[in-house]
Structure 1
Amino acid sequence: MPDEEYRYELENRIKNLLWTVSGDYALEVSLDIDSFQRSKYISLYDAVKQGAFARFFSKDAFGMYLVKKLYMGAEEASLMGLAQMCVDQAVSEKICEERAGVRTLRKRAFEDLLDRDFDQLARYNNPVGRMKIAMLQEGLNGTYAAERRVREQVDQLLALRKAETTEEVIRKVDDFYNRLVDPEFEQEHGTLEQVLAVSAEDLKKFNWQDFLDETAEEATLEEMMRQVDSSVIPPEMEEQERKSRAKKLLVTEEAARKMYSYIELNFGRSYMDEREQERMNRRICRGVHGDCRLYYTDGIIENYVRENNTYVLACRTLELNRRYYRQHQRMARQNITQLGNLLKRSLQARNEAEQTRSTFGTVIPSKLWKVGRTEDARLFLRTSKKLNSDFVVDILMDGSGSQRGRQQDVALQGFILSAALSKAGIPHRVFSFCSFWSYTVMRRFREYDEKAEADWRILEFTSSSSNRDGLALRAAADGLLHRPEENKILIMLSDGRPNDVVLNRPNVKNPAVYTGEYAVKDTAAEVRRLRSQGISVLGVFAGEEQDLSAERRIFGKDFAYIRTLSTFAHVVGRYLKKQVDEQD
C-alpha cells in the first residue's frame, strides 16, 4: 500500500480507538503517525491514554494550565514529560478496569519505551528520567528498583491512580516540575495560583514561535494550544459531563446530535428519513440490543457530507479493490460462471414438468383395471412446476476493522457471489455492517431487483470499527422476511469474531460487553431464530483457523470455510445447490 494510503488508514484506525475509549466521536486530534513505524504499541496506547483522559477528566482545564505554565517560563520537554507520566497514572487503572485488553497493550508499550529511551532517560543523572524508568518498570512487573529519593517521588506519582479531579493532576504536575526541574520557579516566575491567573489577553500577546515547528510560523494561539494539548490528551469533551461514581458517561442531547453528525460525516448520509429510521430502531433494536441504533446508508462515496480523510480513504480503497479484481480477473470470472451456471441448472431442473400419480389429473388408461378391484385411487397423472422467483437471497458482509487484513478478498468474494446470483436471475440484496458507539451501520450496495451493473458497487467495500453480528443479522432478515418469495436465504461473510468493543454506554439497560462468549452466544441464538422463521442461514468463513470453533457454534453445519478464492464457487455453490434441491 502506498505510504500516503497507509497513513490515511492508520490515522483512521487510531482515531477510531481514541473515539471509542473517550466516547467523544467529535474529537479532532493531532496524531504522531510516524511513531507507529517505530512501535505500534506506543502509538496505540497513547491513543487509549488520550481518550481515557478526555473521558474521566477535563482536558480544557489541563490544557490551559500547560499553556500558562509555558507562558510563565517552564521548559517544554520536561513539563510535557511529567504531564505524560501523570496522565498515565491518573487514567491507567480506570480504563484497565473497563477494558482488560488495555493492560497488555500498556505493558507492550512500556517495554518498547524502555528499549527505545532507556539510555536517554538514564543519562546525566536526570531525576525526571530516573522517575520515568521506575514508573515503566513498575508498570511491567508491579515493582521497581530505585534509591529512596526516587521511590518517594514514584510513590507520589502512583498515588494519582486515586485522583478524581483535574485539579489533583494539575497540582501534582506543577509540584513535580517545581521540585525536580526548576526549584527556583516559584520564586522567579510565580506560584501555581499565579500561573492559573494568567489572562487570555496576556497569552494572545505572547510570541509562541519558540514552541512551534518552523513550518508553523503563522500558527495562532489556538493552534498552539491544540498542539500542546494533543501531545498529552485530546481536545475537550465540550458537552459531556464528568463520569459518575458508577463510571457511566452522561450524554446530553447536543452530544447525541454530534454523535449522529459523526456517523454521517464518516459513513455517508442515510437514505432513510428520520421517522422511518426511528421506526426501524423501535422494531429491531430490542433485548440485548435495546440500547443500540441502526444507521442505513449507501456509503460515503455515494452520499458524502464533505471530502474528509475517510472519504479520501474510501476512494483509495475502491481503487485498490478494483486493482485486486483486475489481478484476479480470470479466476473471478471462472467462479462467477461456475457458480452462476450451477444455480441456473438447479433452478431449471425445478422448472421442468414433474409428473406424479395422483387422485386427479390426466387419466392413466393402463391403471383403469383397478377401478372397483382395489382401494388405490391414484389413477391419474398430475403435472407440477415451481418458478425461479421462489428464491431470494440476502448477502451480509462483516465490514469491521478485524477484516482489514483481508479487505480485498472479502470485497471480491461479495462481488463474485452477487454477480453469480445476477447471472442466475435470483433477486438479491447486499449489505456490509460495522458498529461504532451505539450505531450499527448497514451499508447497502445493491437492492433485490437492481440490474447486474449494481454488483460493481460491492468493490466500494471498506472495513472499520467493531461488529455487532446479532443485530446486523436481525436487521438484514427484517427486509428478507417481507419479501414475497417462499424460499429465503441469508449468506453472511464473516470471520467468526463478533466484537462490539464499546462498553458502558450511557444509561444502558444491558451493560455487558458484546465480545467473546457473550457475543458468540447471541449471534448463534439469532441464527437459530431466523432459521425457525424459515430463513436458511449460511456462514461463509474466511478468518483465522483458531476462530473456526466459534464459526461452527454460530452456524452449525451450515458454514463454508474458504481457504482460497479459487475454491469459492465450488464450496458456496455446493451449499446453495443443496438449498435449491431440498426445497423440492
Structure 2
Amino acid sequence: MDELELELENRIKNLMWTVSGDYALEFKPDLAAFARSRYVALYDGIKQGAFARYFDREAFSMYLVKKIYLHGMEAPLMQLAQLCIEFAVSARITAEREGVATIRRKACEDILEMDFARLQETLTGRLKLALFKEVLNGKEPATARMRNWMDRIEELEYAESTMDIIRTTDTLYNEIADPYFERRHGSLETVLAVTNEELAEFSWKDYLKEEELEDTLETYLDQVAQNMTNLDMLEQAEKEEKPEKKEDKKRVLVVDEKALERMYSYVERNYGKTFLTEMEEKRVNQLMCRGIHGDCSLYFTRGILKTPVLRNYQYEYARKQKDKNLYEYYDNHRIVKNNIRILTDMLKKTLTLREEAEELLSDRGRVLPSRLWRIGRSEDARVFERCLYQDSGSFVVDVLIDASGSQRSRQGQVAIQAYILSEALSNVGIAHRVMSFCTFWDYTILHEFRDYDADRRENSNIFEYVTSSNNRDGLAIKAAGYGLSAREEEHKILIVLSDGRPYDVILNRPNARNPQPYHGEYAIKDTGFEVRKLRSQGICVLGVFAGEEKDLAAEKKIFGKDFAYIRDISGFSPVVGRYLMKQLEKDT
C-alpha cells in the first residue's frame, strides 16, 4: 500500500508541476479523495498547477485566511472559493490541453453521483450542483437568484487578475453564507487591510490537528492553499436553518475536557479573566443557560485591559480602541459636559418632587386638634397626620449595551453616550451598573465597566468599550435581569441599547459545541420572551434602537411599546433620561 500511495502521489504531483511549469511548487495530494474518485483527485492536482500558473496562489489563500480571521465561516467560504477557482482556470487549461476536459467531466459526474444528497442540504451545495449540471448538460433552468450567482461564477472564465476572483468570492460569500458580514465585520477593504502581524498573533490552533500545531499560521496558510482547489466535498458544511422536528431537538453533545479547556482559555486570553469564582460561574451558568441556551455559557469579565492573561493582539487592539474612544471624548469634551449637566438637572428636579413630604390623614402620627370632635361622632375617626417621604435610593438601573461587530463604526459615540448617562446617574445618587455584551463561540461575554455601588471614578472604564463577534440578546438580557432581581431596591430599570437584530451563528470550528443558529424569528421570539419575563417580575425594560429602519418591526416585537428609535447615537442619553424621569414620576 505504501508503494501504491507513493506512486499515486508522484503521479498527481507530476500533473501539477507539468501544468504549472513550476517544479518547486509544494502540494500534498489528497489520496483519500483518490480512493473515492481518481478523476476528482487528478483534476484537483491539475487545478492546483493551473491556478499557480495563471494567478497568484499566495494572494488568494492569504485573502481566505484574513476573511476567516474576521469571523468568516470556513466551510462555505472554502466551497465558494473552490467554485470560483474552478471556473477561472478550467477554460484556460482545457484550451491548452484537450484531455483535461474529459477528466473534468468525469470528476463532475463523480461528484454528482457521490455527494448529490449532501449537496442538496446547503445553499452553496445547491449552487455547486447547478454549476456542475451545466458543465455536463449545458444551460439548465434556474431561479433568478441562482442564475445571478451562476453567471457571476461562470464569468470568471474571463478573469484578468487574482483580485477579480477575490472580489467575486467575497461578494458571493456576503450574499449567500453571511448577509450580515459586511455590517458586522467590514467590507473587502477591511478584510484585505488585516496585517500579517495581526494574523501571526491570532491563535490558529482550533483550525488545525494536534500534529500540526507548530508554526500555526504558516501551517494553516498551507492547508488553505491546498484545500481551496479541492473539488471533493469532504468538509462539513454550514447548514441552512431548518425547522426542527421534535425528535431532533434533544442532542447529546460529546466534548472532551481538553477541548473545553482550550476553548475557555482562548476566551480568557481575548476578553480578560473572569471576576467570578469557579463555583459562582458554574452556578450562574446552571441557572441561566437552559432551554435554547443550554449549549451556551456566560462569561463575566472586567475586560482584557483590566485583567489580561497576556499582551496579545487583542490586548493591543483594545488599548488602541480605548485611546480612540478617549480622543473622541476629548474632541467633544464641552458638549459631553453640557449634556451631563442637562441630564443631571432633569433627574434632580424629578427627584426633588419625589422627596417633598406628602401629608396624609392616618390612624397614627401627629394629633390634629381640629379633628378631635369627630371621635364618637363620625365614621372617619382619623385624627392623626403622617408625613410620607419618597426615597430616591429605591431605584436601581442596569445599562446593557450591544458590543457585537454591528456597532464597530460607532464605538466612540456609544462609549460617550453611556458615559454621559452613567455620570448623570452618579450625580443624583442612583445605583447603576453598565455592561456590554457580545457572543464568541459558545460564550456570551458580559463586560462589566462599573458595578451598581462602584465609585464614580469607575465610570471612565466605559471608554474601554470594544466590539466584536455576534450577539445573543436573549441570554444577555436574562443574565442582566438576574443581577437586577437580586437588588433590594423597589424600582428596577433595565435599559438595552441594540440594533434590533439578535444574531449568533456559531462558527463551524473543531471542538465548538454548535448550538442551533440564533437569528431571525427564532432569536427575536426568544429575546422578546426574556423581556416580557422580566417585566412580569416588576422590572421596567426599555429598548433603545439604533439600527436600520427595516429592523424596526423586529424591535417592536422584542420590546413592545417601551422602545425608542434613535436615528443618531447622540440621542441615546436624552431618550434614556426622559424614560428615567417618567419612571421616577410614576409614584409622585
Q: TM-score range with shorter-chain normalisation? A: 0.5 to 0.7
1:229 to 199, 223, 243: 223
SS of equivalent to 1:231: helix
Distance in structure 1 (CA, Å) of the matches to 2:98 and 2:466: 43
Identity, % of aligned pairs? Answer: 46
Pair 1:78 & 2:50 matched: yes
The residue matched to 2:314 in structure 1 has which SS?
A: helix
Aligned partners of 2:463 and 2:457: how far apart in 1?
Answer: 12
SS in 1 for 2:541: strand
Moved more, 316-325 or 559-568: 559-568
Q: 1:65-464 counterparts in 2 under 5 A? A: 77-78=49-50, 122-123=91-92, 126=95, 151-156=105-110, 158=112, 161=115, 225-233=219-227, 250-464=254-468
Alignment-derived partner of residue 560 in structure 1: 564
Q: 1:121 Cα deviation (Å)?
A: 6.3
Quote the residue 2:232 is aligned against. Answer: none
**Which amino acid in 2 is paired with 1:78?**
A
Q: 1:397 to 1:254 in 2, by over 3 A?
A: same
Counterpart of 1:481 in structure 2 is 485
Q: Give, in angstroms, the shift of residue 225 of structure 1.
A: 4.8
AA matched with 2:458: A
Q: Separation in 1 of the partners of 2:368 and 2:30?
A: 89
Gaps of 5+ in 2: 1-28, 34-40, 58-72, 119-195, 197-213, 229-234, 240-247
Change (3 A) 1:498 1:407: same
Q: Which residue of 2 aligns with 1:142?
A: none
Q: How far does residue 419 in structure 1 lie from its aligned partner after superposition?
A: 1.4
Instruction: Measure how far apart 1:262 and its partner are.
Output: 0.9
User: Of 546, 566, 574, which residue of structure 2 is paired with 1:542?
Assistant: 546
Amino acid across the alignment from 1:394:
D
Distance change >3 Å, CA 285–CA 149, structure 1 → 2: closer
Q: Could you give the per-residue CA deviations for residues 246-296 of structure 1, whole angstroms, max 9, x where no partner exists? A: 999853221111111111111111112222211111122122222211111
Q: For 2:502 and 2:576, how far apart are their aligned partners in 1?
A: 22
When residues 353 and 506 of structure 1 are mapped into structure 2, their CA distance, relative to the original with a 3 A threshold, is: farther
1:579 aligns with 2:583: yes
Q: 1:535 to 1:507 in 2, by over 3 A?
A: farther
In the alignment, residue 224 of structure 2 is paired with which amino acid? S
Matched, 1:493 2:487: no
Q: CA 1:558–1:60 in structure 2 vs 1: closer, same or farther (change >3 Å)?
A: farther
- Alignment of 1:528 with 2:500, yes or no, is no
Query: Root-mean-square deviation (CA), in Å?
Result: 4.5
Q: Distance in 1 between matches of 2:411 and 2:334?
A: 20
Q: Structure 1 residues 517, 224: closer, same or farther in 2, change over 3 A?
A: closer
d(CA) in 1 for partners of 2:215 and 2:75? Answer: 36
State the one-letter code of the partner of 2:328: Y
Residues 503 and 511 in structure 1, CA contact (< 8 A), matched pair in contact too:
no
State the partner residue of 2:65.
Answer: none
Alpha-carbon deviation of 1:129?
Answer: 12
The answer to whether the 8 Å contact 1:121/1:130 transfers is no
Shift of the 319–510 alpha-carbon distance from structure 1 to 2, 3 Å rule, reads: closer
- Is this contact kept in 1: 2:437–2:476, CA < 8 A? yes
Q: Distance in 2 between matches of 1:415 and 1:320?
A: 15
In structure 2, the CA distance between the partners of 1:382 and 1:302, relative to structure 1 (3 Å rule), is: same
Alignment check: 8 A CA contact 2:422 2:459 kept:
yes
Residues 438 and 505, structure 1, Cα contact 8 Å, conserved in 2? no
Q: Note the C-alpha offset of 1:357.
A: 2.4
Matched-pair contact (CA < 8 Å) for 2:405–2:469: yes
Shift of 1:559: 1.4
- TM-fit CA distance, 1:60: 12
Secondary structure, counterpart of 2:435 in structure 1: strand
| C-alpha displacement of 1:557 | 1.4
Are the equivalent residues in 2 in contact too, given 1:248–1:504 (CA < 8 A)? no
| Residue identity matched to 2:109 | D
Q: Counterparts of 1:574 and 1:503 in 2: how far apart (Å)?
A: 40
Amino acid at match of 1:404: R
The 8 Å contact of residues 274 and 302 in structure 2, kept in 1 or not, is answered as yes
Retained in 1: the 8 A contact 2:285–2:298? yes
For residue 553 of structure 1, give the secondary structure of its aligned residue in structure 2. Answer: helix
Matching residue's letter, 2:225: S
**For the structure 1 residues 232 and 466, does the alpha-carbon distance in structure 2 shift closer, same or farther, using more than 3 Å as the test?**
farther
User: Conserved in 2, the CA contact under 8 Å of 1:410 and 1:493?
Assistant: no
Distance 2:279 2:419 in 1: 32
Pair 1:162–1:303, CA change in 2 (3 A): farther
| CA distance in 2: counterparts of 1:404 and 1:224, whole angstroms | 29
Equivalent position of 1:35 in the other structure: none
Deviation at 1:150, TM superposition (A): 5.1
2-side partners of 1:507 and 1:314: how far apart?
Answer: 27
Please give the alpha-carbon distance, in whole angstroms, between the structure 2 residues aligned to 1:368 and 1:128.
116
2:5 counterpart residue number = none
C-alpha separation in 1, matches of 2:536 and 2:368: 41
CA distance in 1, matches of 2:570, 2:514: 43
Q: Secondary structure at the match of 1:432?
A: strand
SS in 2 for 1:464: coil
Kept in 2: contact 1:503–1:512 (CA 8 A) = no
Aligned-partner residue type, residue 546 of structure 1: K
Q: Kindly tell me: are residues 130 and 229 of structure 1, through their superposed partners in 2, closer, same or farther at Cα, counting changes over 3 Å?
A: farther
* Distance in 2 (alpha carbons) for counterparts of 1:530 and 1:221: 49
Matching residue's letter, 2:350:
S
Contact 1:122 1:129 in 2 (8 A): no
